[in-house]
Amino acid sequence: MISFLLIAAGLSFLVLGGNLLLKSAVSISLRLSIPKVVVGMTVVSFATSLPELVVSVKAALAGSPSIALGNVVGSNIANLGLVLGVTLLFGSMHVKRSFYVTDWPVMIVASLLLWFFLWNDSMLRLSEGILFLMLLIGFLWYLLKVQKPAVEDEQPEDDELLSPIKSMAYLAIGVAGLWLGSEWLVKGAIDLAQTFGVSDRVIGITVVSVGTSIPELAASVIAMLKKEKAISLGNLVGSNIFNIFSVLGITAIIHPIEVTDTKFLSNDVIFMVGFALLVLPLVLISKSRTLNYKQGIALLAAYVFFVYTVI
């Protein structure tokens, strides 16, 4: 009974946190004249990646590297298969030029680097964690210094300019809601999963990863319903990049991450790279370069197939 209450409370806090975080991000983009796609790739992405960071660091320090690694790999798969798939059921999403020039290539590089490091010696070490953080800093510098002037931004009529104090308050409360909600949701879900004797890898790659991806789902669906589509797409792509470069980078610096289950390399990481690659052809098959419910259904079907291979 307690597990179900934790899951319900966690979901409620995640939805509330996602809504407040979105309001803050939109207001920040208006006040600083920053394109929403850049805000989505930085402020929103980092805030919604906090649950993955907290869970991965705690799992690594507790001696559960399978949960730490499965959390990030599973979250990246869930972001593109589950979250993007569900989000597209609520409306279409036009893909801007920055997706092809920067966002997608960086996500592919991050995914392939992670696969290579793990395949090389089944370990993510301190030096590789430092490299991930350096690449993240370079990526953020490029976004803010180079890409910012080139991004054409749409300004929906219902944008709300909040006061600086209110924006920061919404940001802080939103992040806290996402953090607490994820903690409660993951704890409740893990308790239920362990009742059925499920392995750490399966728990990490499914239950924990979906739980920590709920913030992305909440933020993206809310963004889609409010016509903030630039933030929705930037949030998902940015979260995958942040999950690898930031979450695994910081975790590996604090404690090396060792692959203890070979199925990570033979199945899970390959699916992660596959989903990252799949997004581009799904965009290119549309003459208008727009993702819609058809691509959403395809992504959801692919995600269901992935879950089937795991369990």
For residue range 201-250, what is the model confidence (pLDDT) as tens digits?
A: 888 898 888 877 877 787 778 777 877 666 667 678 888 999 999 999 99
Q: For residue 112, what pLDDT band results from cuts at 50, 70 and 90? A: very high
Entry pTM = 0.83
Residue that has been written with the tokens 């993206």 in this structure: 220
The CATH architecture that domain 37-151+198-310 belongs to is Up-down Bundle (1.20)
Rounded Cα–Cα distance for residues 70 and 131 (Å): 20
Q: Percentage of the chain surpassing pLDDT 90?
A: 35
Q: Where are the alpha helices (DSSP H) in 158-248?
A: 164-195, 200-202, 209-225, 229-242
117 within 8 A of 128, measured Cβ to Cβ: yes
Q: How far apart are the first and last CA of the chain?
A: 25
DSSP 3-state percent helix, strand, coil across the chain (nearest 5): 80, 5, 15
State the virtual CA torsion across 139, 140, 144, 145 in degrees, nearest 10. Answer: -50
Taking only the tens place, the pLDDT of each residue in 78-105 is 999 999 999 999 888 878 777 888 889 9
Strand intervals (E) in the chain? 93-94, 123-124, 257-258, 290-291
Gap between the Cα atoms of 225 and 209, Å rounded: 24
Higher pLDDT, 63 or 293: 293
State both tokens at 30: 């208006």
CB 66 within 8 A of CB 200: yes
Here the tokens at position 21 are 């975080």
Q: In this structure, is the dihedral angle defined by the CA atoms of residues 32, 141, 58 and 254, taken in order, positive or negative?
A: negative
